[in-house]
Structure 1
Amino acid sequence: MAAFEQYEELSRQLGAIGVIKRGLSRVLPPDCPPTSAIVLSLLKQYGELRMSKLAELMVIDMSVTSRHVAHAAERGWLERQCDPLDKRSRLLRITPSGEALLEQVSARYAEALAGCLHDWSDDDVARLIGLLARLREGFGECRPRAPQPRAAAITRTPA
């Protein structure tokens, strides 16, 4: 296990990631905030989603999710349709326009990263990808989970 000081330094380095994220957000089209790109990316990855599931995946409040969805819907990047299973709910789906925007965002992000990391080896980039994926997975395991129903007690009869 790493020393506590290493976790403190990791915390500082992760805090500095915000600077990198803000830098990357500058390459986005003017009317596409980073959260819109995240919404579209999740819809592309998971397909149709209810607003509640999107909020859960983004780890943000429903009211905040609703604002992000409204922004993307107003621009035609996603559509909202009634859920046939629950007429009170809406299903969200990325549109072809949203997919085109997402491709543009991905290309811009990749170009920006390639420019900043031009002196990194392919192995270093691959190592960073692997470590970040592992970090993300580790945090996913740390999220609070909904309580699971208890399994029925198993009774054994004496043999």
Structure 2
Amino acid sequence: MASQELYGELASQLRAIPAVARELSRSCPPNCPPASLGVLAVVSRHGELRMSRLAELLDIDMSVTSRHVAHLAERGWIDRLPDPHDRRSRLLRLTPGGMDMLRAALDGVTASLADHLRDWSDQDVLELCRLLERLRTAFTADCRPRTQTITM
């Protein structure tokens, strides 16, 4: 197990991640905020899905999910179709315009990453991807309630 000092350094580095995310968001089309890009990416990855499933995958409240979906539907990037198995529900599906927007945003993000990491080797980028996936899994795989209380 790593030392407390090492975990402190990791915490410090993780606090810098929002700055990286902000810089990457600047490379997205101006009419596609990062939250919209996230929703488009999830719908693209999972195909047609119900709003409740989208909220679960994004780990956000249904009311927030509903606002995101309304925003994307207004722009013609997502269709809301009747669910043939449950007429009370809607299935969400990416439109061709939504797919075009997702591609444009991802192209911008990819170009920004390539520019900022131009002196990184493929192995370095692959290792970062592997470690970030491992970090994400460590935090999302264990959904048990926390019993330890932090006092200040």
TM-score, length basis structure 2? 0.90
Is residue 142 of structure 2 the alignment partner of residue 135 of structure 1? no
Map 1:115-154 → 2, pairs under 5 A: 115-144=115-144
Per the alignment, residue 149 of structure 1 pairs with none
5+ residue gaps, structure 2, are: 146-152
Q: Calculate percent identity across the aligned residue pairs.
A: 54
Which structure is higher in RCO with an 8 Å CA cutoff and minimum separation 6?
A: 2
3-state SS, counterpart of residue 79 of structure 2:
strand
5+ residue gaps, structure 1, are: 146-159
- 1:23-78 CA-to-partner distances (Å, cap 9, x unmatched) read 11111111101011111110111111111111111111111111111111111111
Deviation at 1:132, TM superposition (A): 1.0
Is residue 44 of structure 2 the alignment partner of residue 40 of structure 1? no
- The residue type equivalent to 2:106 in the other structure is S
Per the alignment, residue 95 of structure 1 pairs with 95
How many pairs does the alignment contain?
145
* Alpha-carbon distance in 1 for matches of 2:88, 2:5: 50
Deviation at 1:129, TM superposition (A): 1.1
3-state SS, counterpart of residue 40 of structure 1:
helix
Deviation at 1:98, TM superposition (A): 0.8
Question: Does the Cα contact within 8 Å between 2:28 and 2:106 map onto a contact in 1?
Answer: no
* Alpha-carbon distance in 1 for matches of 2:144, 2:89: 25
* Alpha-carbon distance in 1 for matches of 2:144, 2:71: 29
Deviation at 1:144, TM superposition (A): 4.5
3-state SS, counterpart of residue 30 of structure 2:
coil
Question: Does the Cα contact within 8 Å between 2:44 and 2:99 map onto a contact in 1?
Answer: yes
3-state SS, counterpart of residue 16 of structure 2:
helix
Deviation at 1:14, TM superposition (A): 1.2
- The residue type equivalent to 1:136 in the other structure is R
3-state SS, counterpart of residue 142 of structure 1:
coil
Deviation at 1:124, TM superposition (A): 0.9
Map 1:6-155 → 2, pairs under 5 A: 6-144=6-144
* Alpha-carbon distance in 2 for matches of 1:90, 1:76: 16
3-state SS, counterpart of residue 91 of structure 1:
strand
